[in-house]
Amino acid sequence: MDPTAGNVPGSAVPGPDHEEPGLETLQFREEIQRLITVPPDNASSFTALLELPPTQAMELLHLSPESEPNPAPAAVSGEPPLLKPCAHPFNSSLTFPSNATLIERAAKFSIFGGDQSPETGAVPSNPGVNLEKVKSEPAESDSNPNSSQETKSNQRSSAKRKEREKKVKVSMKKSKIEAKEDADKIPYVHVRARRGQATDSHSLAERARREKINARMKLLQELVPGCNKISGTALVLDEIINHVQSLQRQVEFLSMRLATVDPRIDSNLDHLLATESLSLMQSNFSSMAPPIMWPELPINGNRQQYQQQWHFDALHQPGWGREEDNHIFITPEASLISCNSSANSASLHTGHVKTEL
Amino acid sequence: MNSRSLLLSPNPNSLKSRFTKGLLRALSRINKHRQQPRSSREIRKRHRLIKAAAYGSMASSVGNRRAWSRALLWKIRNQTRRGYAATRNIGSSTRQLSMKKRICDLQKGNNSKNRVEVGGLGQVDKLRRLVPGGQVMHTCSLLEETAHYMKCLATQVKVMTRIVEVYNIP
């Protein structure tokens, strides 16, 4: 699974390992320039090989090529040109991984090398230029100022830059770059960690887990009103806990209110009303649209209402004119149903009932 | 009373409608045989029943898709079967389960699987106590369940306020 046109690490050794630094640098520079021009169209071919999801790999791809190689800082002699973070617009075919986890992983995985596609025509003059998979270096991780303010690409590029520096300094044998002419499957993924972060499989898993948790926390922040401004996990969690507690208390309070209310017989009422009124609701809605004045609340209003409902429901033959009751019930219901609003509609209903009574 | 029709309009299959139907059905069942409760004991009993009905219908309308709803359903079923005292035991037993699980985890991967990353100040534990079934979940899924649980609680509150409005106009 050799990705194409990836970042070429500083210690990239064209061909056989451990060339002389000077020659290597030159070759490396050429190599980089050629690789940079590799269009990311190869993404589809080799992303399948990658054990990464395609979006990740494509993202990586696009991060690696740059518009132009920077002149290497003088920090390290013979350091290959820096690969600036490319601000160039991604191809439309690219989909930036939205998942924070993927972004994180993509940052961790610095895949070097690239497919020597014929499009480049840039097969390095040195026939031995090979982009190999990068071996994970457990201990050797440059310390990346892992500031979250940096953009991911900046992070990655700076990390890779520094890694490259370090590589060039330290050793050449840690990573090789080999060109892959065709799709070769790689049994496992080698990882290069960011500066200052271990490449332990454990820590990688931890990081992935942390990313998941952070994503969920963001979701929760959006749900809880007023949590967007709060920063910091602890405070946000406090807010969430308060919110859940308040909701639970509200449910309890409401259930207490329901418990103290008068019990009534309304078993079939809803069902009947729902089925009956649905058909008429459309027609009646417009007539009921204008809100009716909130009637004075008689003391016995409830009782009357309940009685009426009870009769309507249980007997279907109320002594006092079924039609009007039907009408009464249906029209306010229509408005209620359609409005789906709050106390206003409730008042509509009761107002009508009372006036008719 | 037509509170069910009040709330059902847009989507008959939405969580809200399902919950409303279930709740109203339970309410009518609760109210069927009783006169108006006069003694405080009766009121408290009804309160308990209504609360169980609310949570139960909410959990039923969510179904088995969510861990918290499963836990809630299980708790309520055991509660009705074994009496009210059973609910306390269930809480503690799940806690024991979760402790065992944590111990196993820690033993398995000592440094790697550190499950207490989101330290906070015991907030995650508080959250676990709040969300039904939260004792045995990992932090990550706990947060997800919390989000869904919050949404359902809000729906519950909305529906119940409407019902109360219709019942108790004055």
The interface predicted TM-score of the complex, written ipTM, equals 0.80
Task: Please tell me the distance from the alpha carbon of residue A56 to that of residue A99, in angstroms, as a whole number.
Answer: 10
Sign for the CA dihedral angle at A139, A142, A148, A150 comes to: negative
Closest residue on chain A to B154 (Cα)? A247
Q: How far A319 CA sits from the closest chain B CA (Å)?
A: 19
Task: Please tell me the distance from the alpha carbon of residue A285 to that of residue A180, in angstroms, as a whole number.
Answer: 71
What secondary structure letter does DSSP report for B134? G
Mean pLDDT across chain A: 54
Two structure tokens written together for A60: 């990586």
pLDDT at B28: 79
Per-residue pLDDT tens for A95-107? 444 555 555 555 5
**B79-98 residues touching A, CB cutoff 8 A:** none
Per-residue pLDDT tens for A81-90? 444 444 444 4
Written as one string, the DSSP assignment of A218-262 is HHHHHHSTT-SS--SHHHHHHHHHHHHHHHHHHHHHHHHHHHHSP
Long-range contacts from A235-244, C-beta under 8 angstroms, 24+ separation? A237/B118, A237/B120, A237/B123, A237/B124, A237/B127, A238/B123, A240/B127, A240/B146, A240/B150, A241/B123, A241/B126, A241/B127, A241/B130, A243/B150, A244/B127, A244/B130, A244/B131, A244/B146, A244/B149, A244/B150, A244/B153
pLDDT at B114: 47
Which of A245, A263, A340 comes nearest B34 by C-beta? A263
**Highest mean pLDDT range out of A14-18, A68-72, B99-103?**
B99-103
Cα angle at A116 between A112 and A117, to 5 degrees?
130
B161 and A254 in contact by Cβ < 8 A?
yes
Task: Please tell me the distance from the alpha carbon of residue B158 to that of residue A99, in angstroms, as a whole number.
Answer: 33
Model confidence at A260: pLDDT above 70? yes
pLDDT band per the 50, 70, 90 thresholds, residue B15: confident
Percent of chain A exceeding pLDDT 70 equals 18
Task: Please tell me the distance from the alpha carbon of residue A234 to that of residue B121, in angstroms, as a whole number.
Answer: 7
pLDDT at B13: 75
- State whether residue B24 sits within 8 Å of chain A by CB: yes
Q: Which amino acid is at A68?
A: E
Q: Rounding to the nearest 10 degrees, give the CA dihedral for residues B45, B51, B56, B59.
A: -160
pLDDT band per the 50, 70, 90 thresholds, residue B62: confident
Question: Contacts of residue A214 in chain B, CB cutoff 8 Å?
Answer: none
Model confidence at B42: pLDDT above 50? yes
Per-residue pLDDT tens for A118-143? 444 444 444 444 444 444 444 444 44
pLDDT at A30: 67
Per-residue pLDDT tens for A211-222? 988 888 888 888
Alpha-helical (H) ranges within chain A are: 21-36, 43-47, 54-63, 100-108, 152-170, 201-223, 233-260, 269-288, 301-315, 322-339, 343-356
- Indicate which of A218, A270, A311 best probes the interface with B, i.e. most B CBs within 10 Å of its own CB: A270
What integer is the mean pLDDT of A242-268?
78
Closest residue on chain B to A278 (Cα)? B5
CB neighbour list of residue A146: distance below 8 Å, 6 or more residues apart: A155, A194, A195, A196, A197
At residue B112, the 3 state secondary structure works out as: coil
Closest residue on chain A to B153 (Cα)? A247
Task: Please tell me the distance from the alpha carbon of residue A123 to that of residue A31, in angstroms, as a whole number.
Answer: 8
pLDDT at A306: 45
Question: Contacts of residue A213 in chain B, CB cutoff 8 Å?
Answer: 117-118, 139-140, 143
Task: Please tell me the distance from the alpha carbon of residue A340 to that of residue B3, in angstroms, as a whole number.
Answer: 10
Q: How far B38 CA sits from the closest chain A CA (Å)?
A: 9
- Do you know the residue count of chain B? 170
- State whether residue A264 sits within 8 Å of chain B by CB: yes
B51 and A252 in contact by Cβ < 8 A?
yes
Two structure tokens written together for B12: 């008959």
Question: Residue A82: exposed, middle, or buried by beta-carbon count in 10 A (0-12, 13-18, 19+)?
Answer: buried
Model confidence at A94: pLDDT above 60? no
Written as one string, the DSSP assignment of B64-75 is TSSHHHHHHHHH
Q: How far B62 CA sits from the closest chain A CA (Å)?
A: 17
Task: Please tell me the distance from the alpha carbon of residue A184 to that of residue A133, in angstroms, as a whole number.
Answer: 11
What integer is the mean pLDDT of A289-314?
45
pLDDT band per the 50, 70, 90 thresholds, residue A247: very high
Task: Please tell me the distance from the alpha carbon of residue A31 to that of residue A29, in angstroms, as a whole number.
Answer: 5
Q: How far A134 CA sits from the closest chain B CA (Å)?
A: 24
Q: Which amino acid is at A308?
A: Q
Question: Contacts of residue B111 in chain A, CB cutoff 8 Å?
Answer: 202
B145: enclosing H helix or E strand: helix B139-167
- State whether residue B116 sits within 8 Å of chain A by CB: no
A270 and B1 in contact by Cβ < 8 A?
yes
**Cβ–Cβ under 8 Å, residues B145 and B71:** no
Per-residue pLDDT tens for A316-330? 444 444 444 444 444
**A188-227 residues touching B, CB cutoff 8 A:** 200-202, 205-206, 209-210, 212-213, 216-217, 219-220, 223-224
B120 and A233 in contact by Cβ < 8 A?
yes
What integer is the mean pLDDT of A141-163?
48
Model confidence at B61: pLDDT above 50? yes
pLDDT band per the 50, 70, 90 thresholds, residue A249: very high
Per-residue pLDDT tens for A57-74? 455 555 544 444 444 444
Question: Contacts of residue B170 in chain A, CB cutoff 8 Å?
Answer: 297, 299, 301-302
Two structure tokens written together for A136: 């994970």
pLDDT band per the 50, 70, 90 thresholds, residue B138: confident
pLDDT band per the 50, 70, 90 thresholds, residue A248: very high
pLDDT at B81: 78
What integer is the mean pLDDT of A176-183?
44
Cα angle at B162 between B161 and B166, to 5 degrees?
115
Task: Please tell me the distance from the alpha carbon of residue B92 to that of residue A51, in angstroms, as a whole number.
Answer: 43
The angle that helices B40-62 and B67-82 make with each other, rounded to 10 degrees, is: 140
At residue B89, the 3 state secondary structure works out as: helix
**A310-329 residues touching B, CB cutoff 8 A:** 329
Model confidence at A246: pLDDT above 90? yes
Which of B10, B47, B120 comes nearest A234 by C-beta? B120
